[in-house]
Every structure is written in C-alpha cells, then in structure tokens.
Structure 1
Amino acid sequence: MPLPSRQFLLLIIVLMLFRCVPAQAQCATGQTPSTAFPICGYDTFHMATVPACSGRNLPVPTCAGDGAAYGDLNAFWYKFTCYTAGTLGFLIDPVEATDDYDWQLYDITGANPDDVYTNPALIVTGNWAGTYDKTGASATGVTHIECASIPSDNRPTFSSMPTLIQGHIYLLMISHFTVTNQSGYSLSFGGGTAGITDPLLPHLANGEYYCNTQTVRLKLNKKVKCSSLATDGSDFTLNTPGINIVSATGIGCNNGFDLDSIVLTLNQRLPPGNYSLVIQNGSDANTLLDYCDRDIPAGEHVDFSVSAPALVYIDSIKPLPCAPDSLQIVFTQPIDCATIAADGSDFTITGPMPVGIIGAKGSCTSNNTDNTITLYFDKRLTTAGTYTVVIGTGTDGNGISSQCGQYILAGDNTRSFIIPPQPVSLLKRVTPVTCRVQKIRVALTRKVQCGSVATNGSDFTITGPTTITITRAESICSNNLTDSIDLYFNAPVLTAGAYQVNVQTGTDGNTLLTECWQETPVGNTIRFATSDTVNANFTYQLFLHCTIDSVVLSHNGANGVNQWNWYYDGNDSSKLQNPVKVYKVFGTKNIKLVVSNGVCSDSSTRQVVLTNVLKAAFSIQPDTLCPNDQALYINESYGNIIRYEWTFGNGNISAQHTPPGQTYAVPTVREQLYYVKLVVQSEVNCYDTVIHPIHVLNSCYIAVPTGFTPNNDGLNDYLYPLNGFTTSQMDFKVFNRLGQMVFHTTRPDGKWNGVFNGEAQPPGAYVWMFSYTEAKSGKHFFLKGTSVLIR
C-alpha cells in the first residue's frame, strides 16, 4: 500500500537532512582546516574536481534540533586574512548546475584551525540549503544561516555578506554534498567592501651563510607560494664564479603551501669575503610569487659576508671512569666528521702505560658535525699516572678540521688527563670452616667482577697437610660484582690441620679483577684451620640388682672431644664423660650420646636391656563365687621367672604357671572373704608377691530387701537387688507413693541411698520394679514389690 503523499514527503526530508555519509576516502591536502589553501582576494580560484573526503561533524547552532547532521563532506578549506575591514561577497559557481554546495565561514584568529569542529563561537555565517546551483554571499542574501532542506523547498542559497575585521584570519569551508559526481567549481570574490588582498609586494629581506652546512638561509619580507620555488636553485645565483647553488628548499613546504624562508645549498664551502645573492627567473620561468602571483623583481639581491672561521682547540676531556677503554675529547668548535680518520690515527696517547688507539668517532648530526670525538683504546688504562692526548695527521692524509674548514695542525693541540691509583682486592677471611668441610667461602676486601672468576676454581690453590683439589668456584653476584667466592672440594677434609688459600692466574688468563680492572696479586694468601672428625660410639657395663640397676657408661674422648651430652629415654641427661645411670624401673632403655670437639660433632644411640625386670600379677574369673562355683586364675606375671608359688586360701597351693581352678566351701554367713597369693622368683633370686581377694557367697538368690535404713551406720544403708552381679540387662526403678520415680539404675552395683534431688526422702513404703536376665540361663524375669524406708 503506497504511503500518503504527506508521509512520503516527510520521508524524503528525513533522508535529505542526514547530510553526512560514512567514511569513504582519506582527505587530501586542502580538505582539512589545518591544510587550507591560502587565496588571493582578486583572483578566481578554480577547483576542477572535488575528491571524495569523509566528513566530520560541524556545529551549526542556529540549526540545532532540526534532526540534521552537518559536516565537511567532500570539502575544501580556504584561508585568507582581512587587510581592510568591510563586507565580504563571494560566488561559488558549480561546473554542474545540478550540484548542491554548502559553505560556512569561520573567524579563527588566535585559534587552532581544528577548533572549528568543537567551538561554535568561531562561526561567522554559512548556508546549508539543499537547493542546487550557485551559492555564496551577496547583498540580497538572507541574514541568517539557511539550514538543511530538500531541493523542492527552493530555499535561498545566498546569505548576506558578512562583515570582516581588519587583521583577522578566516577559514571558508565549501562542502560538495552531491555525491554522484566529483565535478568542481570556481570561487570568486566581489561585491563587498573588505580587502582580503595583501597590499605588501614580495621582496628579498636578508641572507645568512652557514659554513657547517654550506648553505645560505634567505629570508623574505612575506609569504610566497611554495610552488613558485625552483628546487634546483635556479631562481638564484651568486656573484662568485665557480660557486654554484645546487638546490633550494622552502621552509614549511613539506606540510604547507607557502614559505618566507629558503635554504640554498652550495657546491662548496665559501671562503671569507663579501657576497651578493641575486634572484632571477629560474627553470620554472619565474622568480618567487605570492598568493596573487605577484613576483619578486628579477635582479633584486641581498648581500652578506663570510668571516674567517674561528680557530678550534681542545676544550676539555669528559670525566673518565676508572680503567677507561675510551675517552671523549670536547672541542671549542664543531668538527667536520668527514675529516676524522676512523682508525683513530689522527691521535696518539702517551703516558706510563703504553696504549694504542684503534678507532675514533664523532656523534655526527645531520650536518655531519660534532664537537665531541670519542677515541677507542686497544686496552684499558689501569696504570695510574698522567697521560697526554696529541693530535697528528691521520692515515686519511689530513688532520681534523672544524665545520668551517679550520684545520688543527699536527702537534698544535694537546690535553693531559690523570688516571688515579685504584686499590686491588685481597683475600680477607675464610668462612665457615665446618666439620668434614667440602666447601669454603673466601671473603674479599673489595668487590670483583663476576666474569673474572674462573668457574673451574683455577684462580686458587690450597696447600696443607692433605691434598685438596678445587673442583669449581661460585659467586653470588649483584650488578656483575661479588665480594665473596665459594670454593668446592673434590672430597671432604677429615683431619685437623692448617691450610692456606693461594691466588694464581686462572685458566681465563687473569686473577680476580676489581670493578676498576685491578688484578689481585698472584701469591696473595689467607689461612684456615680444620678439625678432626669425632665418633660418638660408647660402651657400657650392667650391674643388675633386685630393686635398682646401674649402667656404667664410657666414651674414649678421641680426636679432641671436649663436650659430652648423654640423654636417657628423653627424661634426664648428663654432661660427664663417663657417667653412671641408676634405674629403679627395669626393661629396655634408650641411651643417646652427642659429642663435639667444638667444630665436629657426632651422635650415637643404643638400646640397653635391663633383663631383671620382675612382676607378679594375676586376675580371677569370677572374683565373687556362688555356692559350687569354681574360680579360675589367669597368670599375668612377667620377667625371667624360674618359680611360681600359689596360695589360694582354701588350703590348696600350686607351683604351676597356670594353676587349676579352685572351689570354696559354702559359708555360714552371707559372704566369706578369702585371699589368693602369688609369689614369683627370678633367675637372679629376686622375688615379687601379689595378693587378690575373692568373695564367696552362701546364696546367689536374686531378691530385693523389704526394707532399709539409710542412716550411714554401715548396716543396711541401701536399697538394691541382692546378687545383681549374676544378672545381665538389669533395670531397677523405685517410685514414691505419688508415683514419682525417685531412683533408677541399670548397673548391677547400683544402690539407692534414700535421697532424691538432693533431699532425704521421708520414711514409708516405696514401690520398686526390677527386670533382669539371668546370666547363666539367659531367662528374663520381671519383679515388682515394695520396700520400707526406715529412719
């Protein structure tokens, strides 16, 4: 269904108002504010084509809120200055009448050109109408900035002429919104009263010669077009035969359109004298042209003088490090690097240590000059004293020359410098000297270079009572320096003696070198001593008795042992050489000895067995007998036992390890107590005795007494099931007359003392319930009754 005509029109408007397109091409020179074309006010500027250029958004405050995006799409920028205040009129005339051009004028005085993208205050006026064909500023134009529109609106494309301020700088942006072609336009000025044409005619201002670069720097009175300069230098000539200008370079032309300074390069250096530089029509058929193509008259000239070059001397020698392998000579004038012999033959050095110069180099600039020359030596200067640098004639056939051609004659220039004395590093001490030493650390009086330490240890030898071979050397380095060296041996040193570490030249061709390259003297020595190894093995003698045992301990004290530490089962200790340890408890004992001679130490542990341990022990099953029950005896004695003697209390005895079971007569009282005794004898005639009681009952009938008297007289003080020990899984409960449970136990020996919740209960009858399983038969019973508490 087609859209109504009004809606269709609104859609077209929205599409036309979106005036910026996605990035499509990189902008060329003149298509950004910072590369704007400088223009002349009375000229017509023709732009044949408009290359595609992606646009950046531009603020247009008077059109804010209309939904359009404004930018410098496919734009060119033009720059000019107002020399006479007044109004500005101009015409943009497209090649294609159907093209749509927009424009905006900015006052960028004191501002960065790129500020046009962010600062609306720079806007003077503009026109963004979507109407085709001519546009610009005229006396009949609208007084406001025309906003974006569609062609059918036929909006005015001319704005009123803006008023320019004298001395201000302006940018004019012309945007080609039509993207179907790249046809150009012409830009002309007229109709206004402002003057944008510079009234100043171009002229030469002055010239100055630079001997170091063989160039003349020419200054003009105003900017001229870079395109009018012949780069082959043919726009100029010197009044001196044989000296030619070989090139001309406009300062600022690499990134711009105009220049007011030119560098002219000559074919040779100018000798002292007066010179005249004359402008002429060059190979491009003109002299130099300003924006309005007004030229500097041919034959105009500037004069300049060239003075004799200053004499050059050695100014100084830069500060030297210790043991330098090069030095830097500073001259009073820059030196022409081309005159420096690369092999250093322009210089010699004399002094207490012979040294050759193997190279010379200047840190040459783009002008091939430098006031500092670096000399490189064939060896480091390590001998203290005064040295002298002498300038001569090098293998290149000349001496060295200043940038302006002033040669230093051989022998004319010398400079002395001093190498101060530097200390060497000596052996300081040896640490640590341990037992069975297989590595020592040699400390030094000064740090040495890690790279000067031979890793195979060949910088050192060790002499002494036994042969010690060094297998390697290691250093702990920081910034490639160390003050100690670890020497490793092929085997540990086991015997005492005095040894000596000696310095020698290693397989790397040197001894130890300090940071200033000073060698440790061959033959420098330091001593250290070792100690004998020790042995903690010990002997002992046992003296066994029935109540105490004595262990006599002994160590031979060989190899200078002067410290003994005995440890007995971790409980006590002794520091005697030959102590006596007394034990009252026998068995296996652990005795440890640690010995030392102050350097070496050793330890030894031995088990000492005191075999006369003797213990009489047995248990009875059961220890309470019912009538006709039999008691069995389990022998738990230990030691080197040779005889047992049992007495059972029933008139029977036994000498067996495990005696036969015993029965006892039924007593006439409720319970009869008997005593069973065991005596054991050891192989060293020691004795031990143990006695256990056994209870014999006249009845094992299970019952609960009918009453009890809890008065603590020792008679009938508790209520409990009699003979409960013959039951299993018993449960006994007692209740008062209110039905409250006042006692409960599941233990065969559990008894109620007549107390509940800490208070003695009143006299009276109490109900009990008793359930149990008979141990022998396994039968279950439940009893219930009453007992009287009597107080």
Structure 2
Amino acid sequence: MRWLIIIISTFLLTAQRGVAQCTTLGQSPQSAFPVCGTRALQQQQVPPCPGRVINVTGCATQTQYRDVNAFWYKFTCYQAGTLGFSITPADLNDDYDWQLFDVTGRNLNDVYTNANTQVGGNWSAIPGQTGASSAGTVQTACEGFQQPKWSRMPTLIAGHQYLLMISNFSLSQSGYSLSFQGGTANITDPLPGAFQKAAYHCLNNRISIKLNKRFQCSTLTPAGTEFEIVGGAAGVTAAQAISCSSGFDMDSVVLDLDRPLPPGNYTVRIRNGTDNNTLLDACDNPIAAGRDVSFSIPVPQFVPFNNIRAVTCRPDRIKVLLSSPVLCSSIAADGSDFQLSGTGPAVRIVSANTFCSGQLSDSIELVLSGTVYRDGNYRIDLVRGTDNNTMISECGVQTPLGHSVPYVTRDTVNASFAHRVRLDCVYDTIFLRHDGAHGVNDWKWSFEDGTSMTGPAPEKVYTVFGMKTVKLTVSNGVCTDEHTRQILLDNELKADFTVNTPVLCPLDMASFTNNSIGHIVSHAWDFGHGPASRLITPQPFRYPLASREQTYRVRLVVEDNLQCRDTIEHTLKTVPSCSVAVPTAFTPNNDGVNDFLYPINGYKTADLLFRVYSRNGQLVFETRHWLQKWDGRINGSPADVGTYAWVLEYTDTELGTRVFQKGVSTLLR
C-alpha cells in the first residue's frame, strides 16, 4: 500500500495562542477534513479553540468532556469491519483525546447532544500515542490516568458516514500525525471519479458541472486549467468550486468562458491542469484525464407568463410562478410590468418583489393596494413596465405581450350559528343551524364528547345533561372560519340523599340530608314505616324498637318543572342492642346456634382489634373487623374443649373514646 503524507497548509491555522475562537476550517463538524484509509495526515499545528461539551456515554457526568483544541475528520465506510488508527503527537508529552461518531442521516451538531451517535473514544489522561487497536480493552476510555490509552477498534457499518474528533488537551498547539492501519473496514472510496452532468447558463457565460462524488478543493486551479471545451468553441477563463469557503471538498464546479456559446451540442473534457493533476478525491485518486460530459444549448426561448400560486382567502398579494428564471433587473419594482383588472372589489398592483439568486428569480410576488374580502373575477396582464420591457429570460429573450392569467377570489365566511334547545326527561336535543352565507359548502360540527357532524343543520341528542361545547368550522373551498359556543342543558335532575347512620341502635333517630339537584318542584319521602313526608328535608325519624334486627327501605322521589321524576333508595337497619359484648361460651358444632366467638353488636366501633389465646398463651385467632368470627379451629383443625382468653380494644364512634376489654370464653362441643 502506498502511504502519502499530507501536510495541512499552515495558512489555514492562523489562530494564535490564547485566542478563544473556533473559526479555522476543520475545527467544527461542518468543516471536517475528508480522509481515507490510504494516506496518513500530518497536522503541523493545533490552533486554540475552547470547544463545546460532549456528553460521553458511560463516563462520569461531573467530568466535562469538550472538543477543546480539536480538529474533525469525516469519512464513509465502504466495507463493514473494524477501524484501526493511531494518533502520534509531535510532542509525546501531549495528551490527545478522540471520539468517533456515526452521523448517518443526522444533523452534524447531534454529536454534542445525542449519545446514540457515539461509536467509541478515548479520553485517558496518559500522554503520548493513542488510538484504536487490537490491544484495546475498552470501547470508550473515560478521563483519568487509570484509563488505558488505547481503545478497542470500533466496528463500522457499510454505507454509514462517520466523524472523528481529535482533541489536544495539553494546550501546547503542537501537532500530530493520523494514520489508519490494523482494521478490516474499508474507508477508501472505490468509485472512480467522473462527471455527472453539465449545463450552460447564458448569464455571465458559465457552465455548471456536477461531479459524481466529492473532490479536494485545493486540486482545482483558479483559472480552471483542468477543463476545456472540445473543438475550441470557447475558452475557460476561471473556475469556482462550490462550498469550498466552508470546507475542504466540493462536488460542483462553475466554469467562466471567454465568449458566449450559440445554440448547439458541446462537450467539456478534463485534463491535467497547471498543477499537473485533474481533480483528486480524498485519497488523491484523480478523475481520469480525457473524461468528458456533453450538454446542449437550445435556441433561447422566452419565459411564459401563465401560472400563479392558488389564491388564498383575503389575498393582499399574488405569487407568480415561472417555469424558468428571469433576470431580476427586468422586473420593475413598482409592479408596472403587470396590470390588474376585474369585476371584484377595486384593487391594483403597487409593487413587485423578486427572490433573486445570482441575478435570477423563478417567482415574483405582486403586492396589491388592499386586501380582497369578497368574490371577484380578476385578470393579470403582462405589459411593458416603467422599465420599458416585460420579463427577460436568462438568455435575454423578452416575453411578448398578450400573456395573461385569470384568477378568482372568494368571500370571507362567518361560522357564527343559531341554536335552539328542546329539554326532555331522558333526551335533550340541540337544534343547530348555519345560514350557509358567502358560498359556504362545507360544515364540520365538533362536540365536547368527541363526536362530530356535518351539514348546515344537524340535531345533537344528549342523555347526559349539563354544559355542552359546540364548535363549527365552515369553508367555501377557499376561506374558512370557526366559532365555538357553550350551551347549558340545565334540566339535570338527580335524586340523592344521605342517612346519618346505616344502623340505628335503640333510641337512635334517623336523620336525612337531601342532596338532590335540579329544578325540583316536589319531594316524596317514604321511610318504609309510618307516615310519608313532602318536605325538602324531613324531620328526624324514630323507628320502633324490636327484639331482632329489622331492615327498612327509605325512598325519595323528586319531580322537576318539566314533570320529570327521579328516584333513589337507601336501606337502614335497626338493631335491638349496640352494647359490645363477647360471649362467655360458644359451641362450634354447626347447628346454627352460638357457633362462633366474636364481639357482638360492634355497630359503633372503629379501629377494632380482637385476639383469642389458648391456655398456654398461643395466639389462635386475630381480627380487625367485628363481623370476622372465630370458628373454633386452629390451623384448620378443631380446637380442644376448654377455656380461651380474649382481648378486645376499639374506639366508640359515638363517644370518641378508646375501649379496652379482656375476658375468657369456654369452647364447648
């Protein structure tokens, strides 16, 4: 393999020590040096550059990693494999760091923010040679003297683009050499250099050439001596490389000619220039001398005036679209090259804006004297303006008179709508209507429940009442408008009440709180015992004492001003006693009588804890709810007949006091 040592010209490295700037080419991802695997690079000097923070994956976040005093290099992988390379400082006491990024399909600035771009790196504090080799043991070495100076060779993917950042942490400005060896990946472009296409531009007599890949800017002579027009119809006087002001390589060249070329067929051929080469790619591979590209120059034609961008709602300007560019200088700034007439609201053209690139514009914006809000039929005619011409093409051909473009404007629209509500007990209906004025032909109604309707007069039915939101969007095909309105369906009726307690102890009185909502005109209470009530909130009610539990159903029926009704029902229970007690004996024989041990009548208890112990102190049962009962079993087996101790504690919810009790009960069989 032939190795070439490329010296980076010192005129690119003009930054002086202590100047905190990163303006030298190669110091940013956007201006990276192109490299390949068949040559080594010698960087003679590293200009100062404070750099930007890079969040290195897997390294401590308290350490700030930066591309300080860095140069960036770019390359493409043409064959997948591993990448081996070495960085050898000119001063072996310098500490060089590096990081490799995969930037395929990404914004190049993602290297600073997106950890997914990172492929490998080495930030070891050990001075001297560094890089990636088979001796490396880590993919990325973090900062510190304990970190290895060599990293594992990263694996590259064919077709992916990569950036290599090399940073001089020592601030010495001494340079380094970069060479690639040891890996299996191929980063040398195998594509032979060639022309892709060429085109002639009448303006300034230039030929633009597109190349099939990127070539070094420095291999193009300013006089363009690498190019010739076959047959000598014209001579090349100068050459410009596109994008070389912000980087080191190019894929497009513009040639200046010494005379205009008449219509016909031509060929541009490449040869060795005065620098003894054609154009060289990143690996110094040339476009082969003698390669050529053909192009044709048609008979110059005028640019027709026949197309404008679709006119939008409320236009105050019109955009003219051209099939080919015209000379910016041929368009009068006052818009006098265009004349407006029509049957709609009176407006006129007051100015014309061009969007020039290299003295040419492919569109023209005509500014009107006012905004058009109503229907209108207009026509724009091309005329000779105050500059005494119409539009002139790049090749100097003037568009003849007689060209015109018609267009129409549409009324602005108003989405305000009318509505009417019909209230009912089960179904409420909102009748909606839009008048369709100003040519509206599209209606979209949207509701707060996520549904939508179309047409000018839909009907929306609700079974759940309350505040509703209606939004209407209308259009006449050009103009749109929307209007939102909230509509209250205020006939919601709901019967609701609460009882002071679900269980009534002897002498307790039941009291009721009415929580019903709606335009209620009557209440009907049925307590399940005794007389009913028509009051909004009935008086406290006492149920009769009984020797056993009794259940009563309490019902409330409400009626509103629409004669709609709603009903709710609750049950409550009366008990003969609320005195908490634990039986002194129980017989767990499943005869339905006294089969369990538990604290009876715990209706007014809270935070209860009930425990049962055997004679030897073993805990055999525990519960925190008074209705959970001991069935006389221990670990699923019947307990022995005998005496068992119990402990009970709870809060009396009526008095708010804590109660502690203990005793014994006898298990009998």
Aligned runs of 1:175-324 on 2, under 5 Å? 322=202
The amino acid that maps onto 2:313 is: C
Q: Does 1:751 align with 2:628?
A: yes
Aligned runs of 1:577-616 on 2, under 5 Å? 577-616=456-495
Q: Contact 1:430–1:527 (CA<8 Å) still a contact in 2?
A: no
Aligned-residue offset at 1:715: 7.5
- Partner residue of 1:656 out of 526, 530, 535: 535
Q: Contact 1:763–1:790 (CA<8 Å) still a contact in 2?
A: no
Secondary structure class of the residue paired with 2:411: coil
Q: Contact 2:319–2:363 (CA<8 Å) still a contact in 1?
A: yes
Q: Does 1:625 align with 2:504?
A: yes
Secondary structure class of the residue paired with 2:558: strand
Q: Contact 2:579–2:602 (CA<8 Å) still a contact in 1?
A: no
Question: How far apart, CA to CA, are the structure 2 residues paired with 1:723 and 1:744?
Answer: 18
- CA gap of 1:507–1:700, structure 2 versus 1, over 3 A, is farther
Question: How far apart, CA to CA, are the structure 2 residues paired with 1:548 and 1:511?
Answer: 69
- CA gap of 1:424–1:625, structure 2 versus 1, over 3 A, is same
Q: Does 1:433 align with 2:307?
A: no
Aligned-residue offset at 1:563: 2.1
Q: Contact 1:542–1:551 (CA<8 Å) still a contact in 2?
A: yes
- Partner residue of 1:559 out of 438, 458, 472: 438
The amino acid that maps onto 1:587 is: G
Secondary structure class of the residue paired with 1:427: coil
1:295-341 deviation digits (Å, cap 9, x = unpaired)? xxxxxxxxxxxxxxxxxxxxxxxxx9747799xxxxxxxxxxxxxxx
Q: Which residue of 2 aligns with 1:293?
A: none
Q: Which residue of 2 aligns with 1:688?
A: 566
Question: How far apart, CA to CA, are the structure 2 residues paired with 1:654 and 1:698?
Answer: 26
Question: How far apart, CA to CA, are the structure 2 residues paired with 1:491 and 1:688?
Answer: 62
Question: How far apart, CA to CA, are the structure 1 residues paired with 2:318 and 2:519?
Answer: 57
1:388-409 deviation digits (Å, cap 9, x = unpaired)? xxxxxxxxxxxxxxxxxxxxxx
Aligned-residue offset at 1:381: 10
- CA gap of 1:652–1:524, structure 2 versus 1, over 3 A, is same
The amino acid that maps onto 2:416 is: N
Aligned runs of 1:158-169 on 2, under 5 Å? none
- CA gap of 1:778–1:687, structure 2 versus 1, over 3 A, is closer
Aligned-residue offset at 1:566: 2.2
Aligned-residue offset at 1:706: 4.8
Q: Which residue of 1 aligns with 2:656?
A: 778
Q: Contact 1:641–1:681 (CA<8 Å) still a contact in 2?
A: yes
Q: Which residue of 2 aligns with 1:479?
A: 358
Q: Which residue of 2 aligns with 1:731?
A: 609
The amino acid that maps onto 2:324 is: R
- Partner residue of 1:762 out of 638, 647, 656: 638
Question: How far apart, CA to CA, are the structure 2 residues paired with 1:440 and 1:486?
Answer: 6
1:577-610 deviation digits (Å, cap 9, x = unpaired)? 3222222222222222222222222222222322
Secondary structure class of the residue paired with 2:661: strand
Question: How far apart, CA to CA, are the structure 1 residues paired with 2:307 and 2:546?
Answer: 95
- CA gap of 1:420–1:567, structure 2 versus 1, over 3 A, is closer
- CA gap of 1:382–1:520, structure 2 versus 1, over 3 A, is farther
- Partner residue of 2:544 out of 662, 665, 670: 665
1:241-281 deviation digits (Å, cap 9, x = unpaired)? xxxxxxxxxxxxxxxxxxxxxxxxxxxxxxxxxxxxxxxxx
Aligned runs of 1:416-455 on 2, under 5 Å? 422-455=300-333
1:354-393 deviation digits (Å, cap 9, x = unpaired)? xxxxxxxxxxxxxxxxxxxxxx9xxx99999xxxxxxxxx
The amino acid that maps onto 1:658 is: T
Question: How far apart, CA to CA, are the structure 2 residues paired with 1:714 and 1:428?
Answer: 101
Q: Contact 2:306–2:403 (CA<8 Å) still a contact in 1?
A: no
Q: Which residue of 1 aligns with 2:378?
A: 499
Q: Which residue of 1 aligns with 2:404?
A: 525
Question: How far apart, CA to CA, are the structure 2 residues paired with 1:688 and 1:634?
Answer: 17
- CA gap of 1:381–1:742, structure 2 versus 1, over 3 A, is same
Q: Which residue of 2 aligns with 1:572?
A: 451
Q: Contact 2:632–2:667 (CA<8 Å) still a contact in 1?
A: no
Question: How far apart, CA to CA, are the structure 2 residues paired with 1:601 and 1:705?
Answer: 81
- CA gap of 1:712–1:538, structure 2 versus 1, over 3 A, is farther
Question: How far apart, CA to CA, are the structure 2 residues paired with 1:463 and 1:710?
Answer: 107
- CA gap of 1:579–1:612, structure 2 versus 1, over 3 A, is same
Aligned-residue offset at 1:636: 0.8
Q: Which residue of 2 aligns with 1:118?
A: none
Aligned runs of 1:330-345 on 2, under 5 Å? none
| Structure 2 unaligned blocks of 5 or more | 1-199, 207-257, 264-296
Question: How far apart, CA to CA, are the structure 1 residues paired with 2:374 and 2:590?
Answer: 83
Secondary structure class of the residue paired with 1:501: strand
Aligned-residue offset at 1:616: 0.8
- Partner residue of 1:463 out of 323, 341, 363: 341
- CA gap of 1:606–1:785, structure 2 versus 1, over 3 A, is same
Q: Which residue of 1 aligns with 2:580?
A: 702
Question: How far apart, CA to CA, are the structure 2 residues paired with 1:526 and 1:382?
Answer: 34
Q: TM-score, normalised by structure 1?
A: 0.43
The amino acid that maps onto 1:438 is: D
The amino acid that maps onto 1:616 is: A
Aligned runs of 1:364-375 on 2, under 5 Å? none
1:118-151 deviation digits (Å, cap 9, x = unpaired)? xxxxxxxxxxxxxxxxxxxxxxxxxxxxxxxxxx
Question: How far apart, CA to CA, are the structure 2 residues paired with 1:534 and 1:713?
Answer: 84
The amino acid that maps onto 1:598 is: G
Secondary structure class of the residue paired with 1:609: strand
Q: Contact 1:719–1:751 (CA<8 Å) still a contact in 2?
A: no
Question: How far apart, CA to CA, are the structure 1 residues paired with 2:624 and 2:501?
Answer: 20
- CA gap of 1:657–1:713, structure 2 versus 1, over 3 A, is farther
Secondary structure class of the residue paired with 2:511: strand
- CA gap of 1:513–1:735, structure 2 versus 1, over 3 A, is farther
- CA gap of 1:471–1:719, structure 2 versus 1, over 3 A, is farther
Aligned-residue offset at 1:776: 3.0
1:603-650 deviation digits (Å, cap 9, x = unpaired)? 222223223221111001122122112222111101111111222234
Secondary structure class of the residue paired with 2:412: coil
Question: How far apart, CA to CA, are the structure 1 residues paired with 2:497 and 2:306?
Answer: 75
Q: TM-score, normalised by structure 2?
A: 0.51
Secondary structure class of the residue paired with 2:638: coil
- CA gap of 1:726–1:558, structure 2 versus 1, over 3 A, is same
1:200-227 deviation digits (Å, cap 9, x = unpaired)? xxxxxxxxxxxxxxxxxxxxxxxxxxxx
Supply the RMSD in Å over aligned alpha carbons.
Answer: 4.0
Q: Which residue of 2 aligns with 1:550?
A: 429
Question: How far apart, CA to CA, are the structure 1 residues paired with 2:588 and 2:406?
Answer: 93
Q: Which residue of 1 aligns with 2:61?
A: none
Secondary structure class of the residue paired with 2:563: coil
Secondary structure class of the residue paired with 1:653: coil
Q: Contact 2:420–2:430 (CA<8 Å) still a contact in 1?
A: yes
The amino acid that maps onto 1:762 is: P
The amino acid that maps onto 1:583 is: Y
Question: How far apart, CA to CA, are the structure 2 residues paired with 1:709 and 1:606?
Answer: 72
The amino acid that maps onto 1:637 is: S
Question: How far apart, CA to CA, are the structure 2 residues paired with 1:750 and 1:432?
Answer: 79
The amino acid that maps onto 2:533 is: S
Question: How far apart, CA to CA, are the structure 1 residues paired with 2:523 and 2:550?
Answer: 26
Aligned-residue offset at 1:521: 3.5
Alignment size in residue pairs: 388
Question: How far apart, CA to CA, are the structure 2 residues paired with 1:665 and 1:770?
Answer: 31
Identity %: 41
Secondary structure class of the residue paired with 1:589: strand
Q: Contact 2:512–2:538 (CA<8 Å) still a contact in 1?
A: yes
Aligned-residue offset at 1:696: 1.5
1:15-41 deviation digits (Å, cap 9, x = unpaired)? xxxxxxxxxxxxxxxxxxxxxxxxxxx
Q: Which residue of 2 aligns with 1:642?
A: 521
Secondary structure class of the residue paired with 1:663: coil
Question: How far apart, CA to CA, are the structure 2 residues paired with 1:529 and 1:324?
Answer: 40
